[in-house]
Amino acid sequence: MCFFPFVSPAISLTAGLLLSLIGIRHDYIHRHTATILQLSIVLLGFGMNLDDVIHASKSGFIETLVSVTTVMILGILLGKLFKIEKNIALLISTGTAICGGSAIAAVAPILKSKNYQNSFALIVVFVLNAVALLLFPFIGHKLGLSQEVFGNWAAIAIHDTSSVVGAGAIYGEKALQIATTVKLIRALWIIPLSLVIALLNKRDGKHAIQFPWFILFFVLAILFANFFPSFEQSYLHLNWLGKRSMVIALFLIGSNITIRQIRQSGAKSFAYGIVLWIVTAIGSLVFMSW
C-alpha cells in the first residue's frame, strides 16, 4: 500500500502505529527499518539540485553550530534538574541535538551505557518523532512558515532523519529538499560531538565512532546526478523510489511503537525529553525568525 501515491508519510506512520496498538506487529520486519530508511535517503539524493544543496548547507551551518551546542548544555542542566541518570540525559540530549537514534547509537558505546539506558533514550526519541511528524507541518501551516524556514526548522527541531524527511515531504517539495540536506549535514556532527564526549568522560581504552556512511552515498548520488544530467529520466524514477521507500520506513517505525515501551521509558525520562524538545523547537524557531 505504501507504493500508492495516496498513501502519504503521515498516513503510513499512523497506520503502522494503529496496527501496533492492536497487536499486529512482527519483530523480524523491524530489523530492516534502518536499512530501508538509509536507502530511501540515498535515492532522494538523485532528485536534488547541487546549487540548492550548497545554499542550504551554508544557510544551515550557523543554526546547526549554535543549536547543537545550546541543546547539549541545556540537556545536561535539565538532566540535573530532573534528576535523570547521567547517561540517559546525555543520550537523549545527543539524540535531540543531532539526529535521534543514529546519534544515540554512536554515543552509547563511548558512554558504555547499559541496555536499559539506551532503550529509554531510544523510546523517548521514537515517540517524540512520531508526534513531530504530524504536529510540525500543522504548526508550520498555522504560522505561515515558508518552505525554506520550515525545512531548516524541521532539520533542527525534529530528532530523527526519518521524521525530518517525512515532515518535509508533508509540507512541500522545497521543504523536503532543504530539511533532508540540512539534517544529513547536521548528522556529521556526530563525529566531533562523540570525540568531545569521549574526552570529557575520560574513559580508559579506545572507542570506535560509528560513521553514518549513508550520508556519503547521499552526497555521491547528488554529485552523480548533477555531473551526468543525460540520465535525468532514470534519476526521476530513483527519486520516486526513494520517496516511497521513505513511506515504508515510516510505516515500520510507527508499527514498532507499543504502549508497553512508552511505559517502560519512565515518567521522569519522558518528561525530560519532552521539555528539552519543546524548548529546542521554540528556541530554534525564534532564532531563525530574527
What is the predicted pLDDT for the residue at 238?
92
Do 238 and 44 meet the contact criterion of CB atoms below 8 Å apart?
Answer: no
Q: What confidence tier does 11 reach under pLDDT thresholds 50, 70, 90?
A: confident
pLDDT digits (tens, 9 = 90+) for 54-97: 765 665 577 678 888 999 999 999 999 988 888 889 999 998 99
| DSSP 8-state code for residue 204 | S
pLDDT digits (tens, 9 = 90+) for 180-202: 888 877 777 776 787 787 777 76
Comparing 185 with 155, the larger pLDDT belongs to 155
The residues, any chain, with a CB within 8 Å of residue 182's CB and separated by 6 or more, are 56, 57, 60, 64, 151, 152, 155, 156
Q: The whole model's pTM is what?
A: 0.68
For residue 138, the tally of other CB atoms under 10 A from its CB is 13
| Section 273-290 average pLDDT | 88
pLDDT digits (tens, 9 = 90+) for 209-260: 555 577 678 788 889 998 998 898 899 999 889 888 878 877 887 777 666 6
Pairwise CA distance, residues 136 & 283, whole Å? 14
Could you tell me what percent of the chain has a pLDDT over 70?
A: 84
The residues, any chain, with a CB within 8 Å of residue 65's CB and separated by 6 or more, are none
The C-alpha cell at 150 is 520550515
The residues, any chain, with a CB within 8 Å of residue 263's CB and separated by 6 or more, are none
Q: Residue 10: in which H helix or E strand, if any?
A: helix 9-21
What is the predicted pLDDT for the residue at 204?
47
Q: How many CA atoms does the CB half-sphere of 114 hold within 13 Å?
A: 4
| Section 1-11 average pLDDT | 79
Listing DSSP states for 73-141 in one string gives HHHHHHHHHHT--HHHHHHHHHHHHTTTHHHHHHHHHHHT--HHHHHHHHHHHHHHHHHHHHHHHHHHH
Residue extents of the structural domains in the chain = 61-289
